[in-house]
Chain A
Amino acid sequence: MTPALSIVNLRKVYRRGTVAVDGLSMTVNPGDFFGFLGPNGAGKSTTLHCVTGIATVTSGTIEVFGFDAVKQYRDARRLIGLSPQEFNVDIFATPRQIVDWMGGYFGLGAAERKRRVDELMERFDLVEHQKKPFRELSGGLKRRVILARALVHQPKLLILDEPTAGVDVELRLDLWRYLAELNRDGTTILLTSHYLEEVERLCRTIAIVSRGKIVRNGPKEEFLAGGLESAYLAATGARPEHIAGAAA
């Protein structure tokens, strides 16, 4: 079975010499809901940027459904949808334009684009906001636009980099339901989040990254025995009693 995502010995060194990812390897199986956890600066976003082409790869290989993400980047990127942590859009454009343009970049024809944009505006409750400039939207609405944009071309691998950061409880629950539905329909999802509850509820496989390396990887059940939070803190090198002590 060809993995949805295979990363082997990925290394990313920035121009100033910072080693962001240091020999990271992991595999995401097709249809999985994969939680990718780690502290800030551990290399999660950099890894995702290397997968999607936002960052160059220093060494190592990345394959998306068997396509090399560097040598066969067009085939690989066609299969990926990315919802990044930062709002990387033209803030003067409208939600409708943003989603429509992304559909265009992925080669969707005018009729199909219109159908998909209408569907997504409806699905994410953006209809009444679809012609307002992005910069005038609330944080939650902006996050919905970014998600709609990631989904316009119906990717086989959906990468979500902290998709619920800064959104209210209602939207978060709605989003969880929607992601679970997408995953049931066959979309492979790779999720990074600092909300362990979110990961525990949605993911089937979890990998923890620390200092640019995978330090623990396996089915969710393996992490739940002693609690996901303890497993996470132990894997990243922080000890719960120290954190509790500091808080006291």
Chain B
Amino acid sequence: MIVNWIGLWTIIRREISRLMRVPVQAFVAPWVSALLFIFIFGSVVGPRIASIGGHRYLEFVLPGILMLNIINAAFLQASTQVYFQRFMRSVEEVLVAPLSYAEMIAGTLVTVVFRTVGTALGILVIAALFGVTHVDAIGEFLFWVVIVSAIFGLIGIVIGLWAKSFEQLTVLNIFFITPLSFVGGVFNTVDMLPPGVRWLAYGNPFFYFINGLRHSMIGFGEASEPLGAVISLVLLAALAVAVWRLFSKGYGLRE
């Protein structure tokens, strides 16, 4: 099948245009939040904590802060994009056009990556002001940024299709994403957890995302990065198939 490149690019530029209507919400808010985390962990709490694996505490925690913001940005971008279009019924503009489901999904995911990369770059600039921006392996770093963005972009699409109200959009974030991120090793190593709850980290995909990004930035890892990459790729493939099925059935989209 021939790809409708102009149609795909139109979805992307439309969503970037929509995103740029709310730059404070999209970019400034996560940057301010990250700045506060970096300040507290860099200048207030960090100096009182012993180094971890030879790294200052702020160096250890920065990849976690970055990943938290990437996950949030990806989820919010995709879920609000899909829900907003359903709410306004502007999704019908795309449904009546000669666009395939794959193009609709790809357009959403490219915008997700645009937002997460913008968010991540801003945080890295802020961290550089505190002298902690290290990226040891740029390829590995980009792999984790893009794959996690895509995973949470796809989850965001599912929630955007399912939600019947703005409140429902936030349910997953409150009860699933935020708790799993916090027990996934943003602020601590697995060793610091009580032995009885360490499974919460090892059984948690967020732990592997954070571990992978941390390894790419400072070379510190607590689990096998290839295992994390496999888990992420499998998750990505499963979600991509699920989202494609929902689109092809018209779930939440077509009457």
Which A residues lie at the B interface, using CB under 8 A? 14, 46, 49, 52-56, 73-75, 77-78, 80, 82, 84, 86, 88-93, 97, 101-102, 104-109, 149
Contacts and interface: CB of A to CB of B under 8 A. Distances in A.
16 contacts: A53-B254, A54-B255, A73-B98, A77-B96, A77-B98, A82-B96, A84-B92, A86-B89, A88-B89, A88-B93, A90-B14, A90-B85, A92-B21, A104-B13, A106-B98, A107-B4
B92 A88 contact: yes
B93 A89 contact: yes
Nearest to A150: B96
B97 A102 contact: yes
B170 interface: no
Contacts, number: 85
B5 to A, nearest CB: 8
B31 to A, nearest CB: 24
A88 B13 CA distance: 19
Listed residue (B21, B90, B94) with the most chain A CB atoms within 10 angstroms of its CB: B90
Interface string B71-106: 000000000000011001111111111111000000
Contacts of A75: 98
B255 A107 contact: no
B7 interface: yes
B96 A52 contact: yes
B6 interface: yes
Contacts of A104: 6-7, 9-10, 13-14
A13 to B, nearest CB: 11
Given A54-B254, A88-B90, A104-B7, 5 more contacts: A54-B96, A89-B88, A92-B18, A107-B4, A107-B6
A119 to B, nearest CB: 19
Contacts of A105: 4, 7, 10-11, 93-94, 97-99
A106 B4 CA distance: 8
A100 to B, nearest CB: 8
B25 to A, nearest CB: 14
Nearest to A82: B96
Interface in B1-43: 1, 4, 6-7, 9-11, 13-14, 17-18, 21
Nearest to B250: A56
A4 to B, nearest CB: 16
A53 B18 CA distance: 25
Nearest to A86: B89
A55 B97 contact: no
Interface string B213-224: 000000000000
Nearest to A12: B255
Nearest to B14: A101
A225 to B, nearest CB: 37
B44 to A, nearest CB: 41
A3 B85 CA distance: 33
Contacts of B14: 90, 97, 101, 104
Contacts of A108: 6
A89 B90 contact: yes
Task: Sort A-B residue pairs by CB-CB distance and give the 6 closest, nearest first.
Answer: A104-B10, A105-B97, A88-B89, A55-B255, A74-B98, A88-B92
